[in-house]
Every structure is written in structure tokens, then in C-alpha cells.
């Protein structure tokens, strides 16, 4: 189930970056089907795992729609920041320390924004979910996030997290002989 939860967001991101088929082509239809299947399966998973009734499902959908764009924008910024940081650090001796400091600051800012967004979302969810349901929902979100990181790591050759010092060591060119 977790793999199905991961496929749709990543295929959507690839299409937005230009990696998908043209509008109306066969790839477009497959992506739409994947997204629809993802929504149905996620809905069923949440209904079962959290024990939600129809009214709670509708309200959860509304909250998700309100927070989804902010979450996507934040993820996009985080990925760009991590990529830029990785590229700058890979320069080794010619790395720009000021740029690295700026990127680290941005990375921490994004982490604070994620916490703020989660708190706002939890306040909204608290209006119709019990604390137990909200905790389970956080668990499902974390599971999806971990699966996405693992998939990104496999696709990009990076370990989960994508920016560890070990990855920099492995990708660094060998020292001159």
C-alpha cells in the first residue's frame, strides 16, 4: 500500500517538471488514472486506519486541499535548496562559504515552516478528529514521507535524506595521484 501512496505524487512531480507525456497523450491518461487510484486507495486506507465516517472524510479532504499547495511548494523549495547545497559542497575547495551559509539558513527556515504548517493543519484537524485519529493521521503522513525519501534515494543514487556526508564522500572525485 505504501508503494502506491508514493507512485502518484512522484509521477505528478515528474510531469510538472516536463518528464511526462504531452497533454491528452496516452501518458497523460495513465497519470490521471494513477492519481485517481492513489486518491481512492489513500481514502480507503485513511477511512480504515483512522476509523473515519463520511463527514470526517469530507472534512479531511477539505483540509488536505487547503494545505496541499503549501506543502508542495515547501517540498519543491526544500528539494531545490538541498540540491544547491549538495552542488556547492561538491565543489570542495572552491565552494562558496557564504552561499553554503545562505542555503543552510534556508534549509532551517523551511524546517520551521514545515512545523508551523503541521501545527496549523493539526488545529484544523482537531475540529473534527479525535486526538487518537490525529496521531494516526500523522503516522500515515510520516510513513508516506519515509517511503518517498526511500524512493528518491533509489532513483537518485542518494541515501534517504539525500544530503548526508557519506553521499558527498562517495560522489567526490578521487584525489589527484
The confidence score (pLDDT) of residue 25 equals 53
Mean of pLDDT values over 105-122 = 96
pLDDT surpasses 90 at 112: yes
Q: How would you label 47-62 residue by residue, b for 16+ Cβ within 10 Å and e otherwise?
A: eeebebeeebeebbee
Residue of 7, 72, 10 lying closest to 42 (CA atoms): 7
Q: Are 6 and 144 in contact (CB under 8 A)?
A: yes
The listed range with the strongest mean pLDDT (1-10, 42-51, 117-126, 136-145) is: 117-126
The listed range with the strongest mean pLDDT (90-104, 141-155, 158-172) is: 90-104
pLDDT surpasses 70 at 175: no
**Grid cell listed for 44:** 480507503
> Average model confidence (pLDDT) for the chain?
78
Angle 141-158-112 from CA coordinates, rounded to 5° = 45
pLDDT surpasses 80 at 128: yes
pLDDT surpasses 70 at 134: yes
The confidence score (pLDDT) of residue 154 equals 75
pLDDT surpasses 90 at 165: no
pLDDT class for 20, splitting at 50, 70, 90?
very low
Amino acid at each position: 500500500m505504501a508503494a502506491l501512496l508514493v507512485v502518484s505524487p512522484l509521477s505528478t512531480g515528474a510531469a510538472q517538471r516536463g518528464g511526462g507525456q504531452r497533454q491528452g497523450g496516452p501518458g497523460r491518461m495513465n497519470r490521471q488514472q494513477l492519481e485517481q487510484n492513489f486518491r481512492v486507495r489513500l481514502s480507503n486506507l485513511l477511512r480504515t486506519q483512522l476509523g473515519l465516517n463520511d463527514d470526517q472524510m469530507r472534512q479531511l479532504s477539505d483540509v488536505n486541499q487547503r494545505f496541499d499547495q503549501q506543502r508542495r511548494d515547501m517540498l519543491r523549495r526544500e528539494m531545490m535548496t538541498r540540491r544547491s547545497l549538495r552542488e556547492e559542497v561538491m565543489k570542495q575547495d572552491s565552494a562558496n562559504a557564504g552561499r553554503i551559509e545562505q542555503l543552510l539558513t534556508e534549509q532551517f527556515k523551511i524546517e520551521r515552516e514545515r512545523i508551523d504548517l503541521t501545527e496549523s493543519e493539526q488545529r484544523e484537524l482537531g475540529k473534527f478528529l479525535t486526538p487518537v485519529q490525529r496521531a494516526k493521521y500523522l503516522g500515515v503522513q510520516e510513513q508516506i514521507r519515509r517511503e518517498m525519501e526511500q524512493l528518491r534515494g533509489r532513483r537518485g543514487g542518494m541515501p534517504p535524506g539525500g544530503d548526508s556526508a557519506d553521499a558527498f564522500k562517495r560522489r567526490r572525485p578521487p584525489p589527484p595521484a
